[in-house]
Structure 1
């Protein structure tokens, strides 16, 4: 089986002008707030470098940017106001978690999903760097069966004993 190693570039020093151009071409100016666009500008070129940024992935990256920004805002709020508050009830004084604590947990779950989808954690990055097998290489050749002429395809089917 043919194997190929993916070479990933995950630092700004490794990016090309083409990576920045693709990120700029797809930049969703009207869909994101300025703080969210700053997140886009930081991450989109890195994703473009690995073909993880195209028209199909824009919506997911927009949501990633929103989630990261929401986490930042929620953390700032909790730092300023604390994670708990006191409430006087008929049972006396109670200490309760602010609703933002639960919201932060949900936002972090969402972020973990996007991080995994885009390969933005060490674990996800390691999976992307893993040696990958060519899906067309089940017979030892490097030939893509979808690009064969009909005679070559018929010979391949006859030799492999299976229909593809």
Structure 2
């Protein structure tokens, strides 16, 4: 048997086909929290089977993944609102007219940072995939039977 280098194993992990099986879909449905609303549930339904397929969605991480979905919905909704109403407001002071970031925009930035951190933890960004630990299956060397 030809042993693969850690780099080869990591590269194989980077190019995972985007197809999931029925077991991954069932795992995602089983772990889906009942407190997600419709929009958050739609994000879960789209991404959780893939996270299960890649081994990143387990029972102990399902709450964190649910928070990922909640943050994604909040980011989308805040961004829609800011795109309609604008990201800044204008004030007049002793230094003249000043443009300031709306509180909603600051909340967007804060939520985006949280979402980005969770994205990295679940290996959902190109840069974070290569940092995930690759576990090689153990080979039976025959000494366990002795």
Same fold (TM over 0.5): yes
Number of aligned residue pairs? 138
Quote the RMSD (CA, aligned, Å): 2.9
The unaligned stretches of length 5 or more in structure 1 are 153-164
The unaligned stretches of length 5 or more in structure 2 are none
* In structure 2, C-alpha distance between the alignment counterparts of 1:58 and 1:134, rounded to whole Å: 24
Contact 1:88/1:94 (<8 A) preserved: yes
Q: Residue in 2 aligned with 1:21?
A: 26
Q: Deviations over 1:53-106 (max 9, x none)?
A: 121011110110111011101101110110111234566543221012211211
Q: Residue in 1 aligned with 2:36?
A: 32
The answer on 1:70 being equivalent to 2:61 is no
Would the alpha carbon gap of residues 34 and 133 (structure 1) be closer, same or farther in structure 2, given more than 3 Å must change?
A: closer
The two structures have a TM-score, normalised by structure 2, of 0.78
Asked which structure has the greater CA Rg, the reply is 1
Would the alpha carbon gap of residues 66 and 10 (structure 1) be closer, same or farther in structure 2, given more than 3 Å must change?
A: farther
Q: Which moved more, 1:99-108 or 1:37-46?
A: 99-108
Q: Residue in 2 aligned with 1:107?
A: 111
Would the alpha carbon gap of residues 38 and 10 (structure 1) be closer, same or farther in structure 2, given more than 3 Å must change?
A: farther
Alignment of structure 1 residues 25-64 onto 2, 5 Å: 25-29=30-34, 31-64=35-68
